Structure 1
Amino acid sequence: MSRAAQRIAVIGAGAMGLPIARRLHEAGHDVIAVDPFEPQRERIAALGMVAASHVDELPERDVAVLMVVSAEQVDEVVASAYMRGDRAPSHVIVMSTIGPDAVRATAGALQSCGIAVIDCPVTGGIAGAEAGTLVQLVGADRAALEAVRPLLERLGRIEHVGAVGDGQSMKLVNNHLACVNATAVAETINFARALELPLDRVFEILRSGAAQSWMLESRFLRMAQPRDERATDTVTAIIAKDSTLIREAAREAGAVIPLLDETWDVYRRAVEQGWAKEDDACIADPPVAQGRLAGGPASEPSP
């Protein structure tokens, strides 16, 4: 696939998908963004792109980028009349985090239709999607990757880690450390509060020494904010879903991950307490943090 303008469908134009679609549109590609929610389609149109409410509304496309929430939603796209018809793209880039088994199943299903799948989960968050600084963890054969490389280069750095499934595995390893780190940041904030230390000063010192990390920079200030002043960046339900995928992959591989088991329990309890649509910084808020402490050890430890 050349660097000339391509016909692209971005399926799932939410918090991550919309800036991805925008960057491809601004690079001169013919982009149609698919989202079921009318307010989001209005945002798509305001950016000068065509919006669709369902994948079956799409005309012929060269490439489809999937940035939906779950493996179930990916399955719905794969089973759609669009993917099974003569308007289907030649390449599908799966950017959703759905796990290695799910993306291999997706690749197998689409390969029977003559469609190449690029396993390409991303890290870097909304800010990375907007700035074009995502890290894209690619699992694909070389020919499939080279076919879509010009598009991926517009979105950030490409890390080719192996075959289909390996991108998802690398993303779960990345998220393992990120999730555990985020939970540690939340715990540190509440520890500092208990010691009656000023959080602005705590942050200044932590970021200048051995405790510095990407997650500290990303989450500390949001976690320290009052709930009613906090913007939503990454919802808790997404992290709960990802930590569940990590536990499943670890169990299948025979890996022992006790810190992630505890982290999973923090997010699981937050969702059960009704915080699923809140920013994931909510795990530092007293209602969630205190509920975790009252709940005892994590249930269902991995082997």
Structure 2
Amino acid sequence: MSRGNVAVLGTGLMGGPMAANLVASGFDVTLWNRSADKTQSLAEMGAGIVSKAARAVIDADWVVVMLSSGSVCDDILFGPEGAARAMRKNALLIVMSSIGMAEAQAMAHKARTLGLRWLDAPVSGGVPAAKAGTLSIMAGGDIEDVRAANPVLSSMGRVVHIGPTGTGALAKLINQLLVASTIAAVSEAMLMAEEGGADPAKVREAMLAGFASSRILELHGQRMIEGDFVPGGPAKYQIKDTSAALDVAAALNLELPVLRLADGLFTSLVDHGGGDLDHSALILELKRRNGRLPSGSPLHD
């Protein structure tokens, strides 16, 4: 027996495995993605595929949105052919993309004007957690709507209700502040180890047993050592989030120098050709600045 109808808009690196977990959990899932080739494996699992976002949402009890940015979400949901207008009254719109706090609040207002319920519920954990169904989900909105969304969200990870509308998006930006600054610190540590004559792998091993241990050091430190920058989280999306976090800081009249430095480092990485690399490729930007770029590096001066 079906657990209900879910529409998923966006089946990329994160949205694809999230949708797969919804299918596996017994929901009737209808998918839309701009690139239809990214839906083929999901169709083989039993998901329905449609060519327009508005068609995907017509019968949905819940609509999960996992698109690349706030502006793309706003266009797909509320633009000239906006899917939100095709949704049933009182259906629950769950935007799980990383978007700005003000963007979340503005879109929530538009959704409620159309008689829809809203949650901003971005995620953390990357592609591995999306595949495993163990994402950290940060929900902003009414507690009643969080409870109503729980059957869907719990199929993809663990939900924490942060607070009112917009605070889920805010929590994600805080997460990205922590991720970006920690990647920068780990990059510096791995480069210093290498240049100082220590084996970076051994340094990482030692640090993981001590107070400096972190998931960033564990996963991205290994990527840096191996030079494996196939994107799990592309660097170009990191600066989208750090830039949005700086906007929030400015609105709150806060000076956050570590966030500003991390944003500048990632912006430089993207400007020098690393936008489509994993964000752990920040170590290449540090090597570029220090004249240590390896032969054949994807970065340029």
| Alignment TM-score, normalising by the size of structure 1 | 0.90
Q: Match for residue 96 of structure 1?
A: 97
Q: What SS does structure 2 have at the residue aligned with 1:41?
A: helix
Q: Match for residue 33 of structure 1?
A: 31
| Alignment TM-score, normalising by the size of structure 2 | 0.90
Deviation at 1:203, TM superposition (A): 1.3
Q: What SS does structure 1 have at the residue aligned with 2:99?
A: coil
Q: Match for residue 123 of structure 1?
A: 124
Deviation at 1:56, TM superposition (A): 2.6
Q: Indicate which of 17, 20, 36 corresponds to 1:19.
A: 17
Q: Distance in 1 between matches of 2:254 and 2:98?
A: 20
Distance verdict in 2 for CA 1:105–1:215, change over 3 Å: same
Q: Distance in 2 between matches of 1:57 and 1:187?
A: 48
Q: Distance in 2 between matches of 1:24 and 1:83?
A: 21
1:80-91 map, 5 Å: 80-85=81-86, 90-91=91-92
Distance verdict in 2 for CA 1:71–1:81, change over 3 Å: closer
**Structure 2: gaps spanning 5 or more residues:** 292-301
Deviation at 1:44, TM superposition (A): 2.5
Distance verdict in 2 for CA 1:85–1:39, change over 3 Å: closer
Distance verdict in 2 for CA 1:111–1:119, change over 3 Å: same
1:40-79 map, 5 Å: 40-58=38-56, 59-79=58-78
Q: Match for residue 295 of structure 2?
A: none
Q: Match for residue 283 of structure 1?
A: 282
Deviation at 1:84, TM superposition (A): 1.2
Q: Distance in 2 between matches of 1:161 and 1:85?
A: 29
- Cα deviation code 1:175-221 (max 9, x no counterpart): 21111001111111111111121122111101011110121112101
1:1-303 map, 5 Å: 5-58=3-56, 59-79=58-78, 80-85=81-86, 90-226=91-227, 229-285=228-284, 288-292=285-289
Q: Distance in 1 between matches of 2:129 and 2:90?
A: 26
Mean Cα displacement is larger for which, 241-250 or 51-60? 51-60
Q: Distance in 1 between matches of 2:34 and 2:44?
A: 16
- Residue identity in the other structure for 2:124: T
- Residue identity in the other structure for 2:281: C
Deviation at 1:260, TM superposition (A): 1.1
Size of the aligned set, in residue pairs, is 288
**Structure 1: gaps spanning 5 or more residues:** 295-303
Q: Distance in 2 between matches of 1:38 and 1:138?
A: 29
Tell me the C-alpha RMSD between the 2 structures: 1.8
> How much identity, in percent, do the aligned residues show?
27
